[in-house]
């Protein structure tokens, strides 16, 4: 389930876990946030660092994250135009969430890896 545009608080899911997953609950959004936690990145650098994501899927996910207030987009008036993406303070607050997922993933991998 993906909800990227939240019109008003009445449309927010009652469950906080459901709300969080509706905003960042796909692998691409997690990878975008992971990479932007390190530093601000241009579109092409972000695409390269994520790997097998298509330009369209990256664009769509960045727009959804921007609409949700997690990512900010800055356009520079240059030729050719330069666009940079970074996390908002709200996006930065997801650091602990991603660190918890990383810790859990490492634990799982160490326990179940052959």
Q: How many CB atoms lie within 10 A of CB 45?
A: 14
% of the chain surpassing 70 pLDDT: 91
pLDDT of residue 8: 53
Structure tokens, 86:
């970074």
Ranges of beta strands (E only) in 14-95 are: 41-42, 71-76, 82-87
Inform me whether the pLDDT recorded for 38 exceeds 60. Answer: yes
Where residue 3 falls among pLDDT bands split at 50, 70, 90?
very low
Q: Looking at residues 70-92, what average pLDDT do you find? A: 95
Inform me whether the pLDDT recorded for 1 exceeds 60. Answer: no
Where residue 65 falls among pLDDT bands split at 50, 70, 90?
very high
Helix/strand/coil for 71: strand
């Amino acid at each position: 389930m993906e909800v990227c545009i939240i019109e008003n608080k009445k449309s927010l899911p009652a469950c906080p876990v459901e709300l969080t997953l509706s905003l960042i609950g796909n692998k691409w959004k997690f990878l975008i946030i992971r990479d932007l936690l390190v530093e601000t990145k241009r579109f092409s650098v972000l695409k390269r660092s994520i790997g097998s994501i298509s330009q369209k899927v990256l664009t769509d996910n960045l727009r959804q994250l921007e609409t949700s207030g997690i990512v900010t987009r800055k356009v520079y008036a240059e030729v050719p135009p330069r666009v940079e993406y970074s996390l908002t303070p709200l996006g930065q607050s997801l650091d602990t969430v991603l660190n918890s997922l990383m810790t859990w993933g490492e634990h799982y991998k160490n326990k179940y890896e052959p």
